[in-house]
Chains A and B, each alone.
Chain A
Amino acid sequence: MVTMEAAPDFTPMLTANLGKAGAWTLDSYLKSGGYEQWKRAVGGGISREAITDEVKKSGIRGRGGAGFPMAMKWGTLPPDPKYPRYMVVNGDESEPGTCHDRFLVEEDPHLVLEGAMLCAYAVNSHRIFLYLRGEFGLGAERMAAAINAAYDRGLLGKNILGSGYYLEADVYRGAGAYICGEETALIQSLNGYRGITRLKPPYFPTTVGGGAWGMPTVMQNVQTVANLPFILKMGGEEYAKIGNPAPAGPGPAGTGPMIFSISGHVNRPGNYELPLGVTVRELIAAAGGVLGGKKVKAVIPGGGTSAWLTADQLDTRMDFANVPAVGFGYILGTASMTVMSEDVCVPHCLSKISYFYHHESCGECTPCREGGAWMYKTLRRVINGAGRPDDLSLLMDLCNNIEGKTLCAFGYSVTWPVRWALKLWPEEFEYHIREGKCPAGDHPFGVTDLTPAV
């Protein structure tokens, strides 16, 4: 990994094993100090309360998109031990622009597994389900192999390392549905129903009746659990020194490292592990600058859901406080940045995102199911040169009638990029409607042909 000017003292942790030959095998993982924290935990070296305490001190917030503090989530578990508890790892990664969970699951499955095991131990669960999206063929294979290897060494199973504690782990494969990354939909899917979101309350899967098979369930993102071995290794306080510890909302603005997926018009797209709080400009520089030395037109900071930053907002720090501070609709999300150069046509780019959300709506709530389709069709009409003068107000009207009127946050995902693009680049939409053609000519995405990075 490159040492960053933005963070000269930082050494990558989560991606440290990647690039080694056979990094996904147990032997390789053990060689790099793997499962030491697990042995320490089940061996009685650190109690459940102490683990929770370290996690609390570390200030780590969920990496799946919502940024919910991990310790706070565990705190919502019912104290009553009569209900079995389940641990679910959310590996249904499908936010446009995000490709780091797949990377971890394929290249370092044991790190994810150890994190999940530590998490299960801390919350006193005896069953882990690793929910991976159906498209991760190789990931599911390697994760299943990792689980088998862990069973063979006695790291999983009955009476682990003579401690009396037992723990089982399974891979559960999804079958292609973006919405199953949403907590309640994932639980429905795991329960054997259509993956549709459910009415809240219960607000948290950690509560009785809210989780998998109605039992309290702790659900964490792949990258979140991968942090756990490091938190225990270096101690919560030390971990909290990485990133931006300024207080914000329910937890610090962003402590710890984050894998930033950078895609789009940059010279070296890829996954970059850096402390939270680096600026967008620094990340673009890390990725080798904008393709062809062009200027930036827009940057998506947090996956398809988020509104887009403009060229004069590149000094925004990427953490849970500074991205949302830009405006309502800007989120850090999965910290996946998509960079668009000055050559792109905003309505065309927006229609891609809009099509995705129209296609992936689970169909539960009418505003999102119907509104999403309507929105996409209106946008398509605009980019195809058949736009009508009142289409912009129609789009805004649709935004107002979808946002906040659905069961899950998907409704916001549909509208945020559209709402802000209409506000920031209205002239491009107007040009399309007025002239019946694209301001970017024949290549609205800024490239003329296939443009692989290597």
Chain B
Amino acid sequence: MISEQTRSRILKARDSFPHRRSAILPSLYAVQEEVGHLSEEGIDVIAEVLDLHATDVFQVASFYSLVHTDPWGKYLIEVCINLPCALRGADTLAKYVQTKLGLDGDGEDHEAHEGTTSDGVFTFRPTIECLAACSWAPMMQVNQRYFENLTQEKVDQILDQLRELATRYPTGPVPGPEIGKLPDATERVQQ
């Protein structure tokens, strides 16, 4: 069941734009935040509230990489392996995270490395789209939080804490990672 709260978020989005269609993307985020992924019911609710056909909603959902119809783990880990990151050892990092998570995948395709751990805690994507952290490579993102200038030790710390958080909150949404603070501006602006 999609909650009243999510419904009202969709309604609010509907009235925020010159055309109700523009509310699809914000609504998809709203449903995904509640359910964890885009359920069929969620897509139907969006279509109903926005007075659109379900295919209108689904065609948008299937285009973007951050909204998904299949369930993911509680934490989405993305490692950028594009050229600027690769020049700083991103391939090694991707392999390390993958091994650490106990995921296999030795295909030639980058997609072959994607996967969710059997306990449903982590989904791993060595993502290809540059994540705009090129100068602080190697990096990874956990649920849209940046972790930059990574070393093996930092990765160990982050993953350990995430595992611990996932055990502490067995059901429902999990809080985001707390450690590995974002490098503050002073660190990032070259002094």
Contacts and interface: CB of A to CB of B under 8 A. Distances in A.
Contacts of A178: 129-130
B87 A446 contact: yes
Interface stretch (B1-9, B63-71, B115-123, B157-165): B63-71
A98 interface: yes
Contacts of A264: 83-84, 87-88, 134
Contact of B131 (A135, A177, A453): A135
A201 interface: no
Given A177-B65, A352-B82, A360-B128, A453 B136 contact: yes
A244 B8 CA distance: 53
A98 B130 contact: yes
A194 B59 contact: yes
Contact of A265 (B26, B87, B151): B87
A110 interface: no
Interface string A273-295: 00000000000000100000000
B132 A93 contact: yes
Contacts of A270: 135, 188-190
A97 B130 CA distance: 8
A393 interface: no
A19 B189 contact: yes
Question: Most chain-A CB neighbours within 10 Å: which of B26, B64, B185?
Answer: B185
Contacts of A340: 87
B126 to A, nearest CB: 11
B155 to A, nearest CB: 9
Interface in A398-454: 445-454
A259 to B, nearest CB: 11
Contacts of B130: 94-98, 178, 304, 356
B180 to A, nearest CB: 12
Interface in A364-386: 380, 384
Given A135-B144, A261-B134, A304 B83 contact: yes
B88 A450 contact: yes
Interface in B125-169: 128-138, 141, 143-146, 148-152
Contact of B186 (A2, A19, A192, A287): A19
B60 A269 contact: no
A189 interface: yes
Interface string B51-68: 000000001100111110
B16 interface: yes
A443 to B, nearest CB: 9
B135 A355 contact: no
A101 interface: yes
Interface string A7-32: 00000000100111001000000000
A271 B152 contact: no
11 contacts: A18-B185, A213-B22, A340-B87, A349-B86, A352-B83, A356-B129, A360-B128, A450-B92, A450-B96, A451-B89, A453-B136
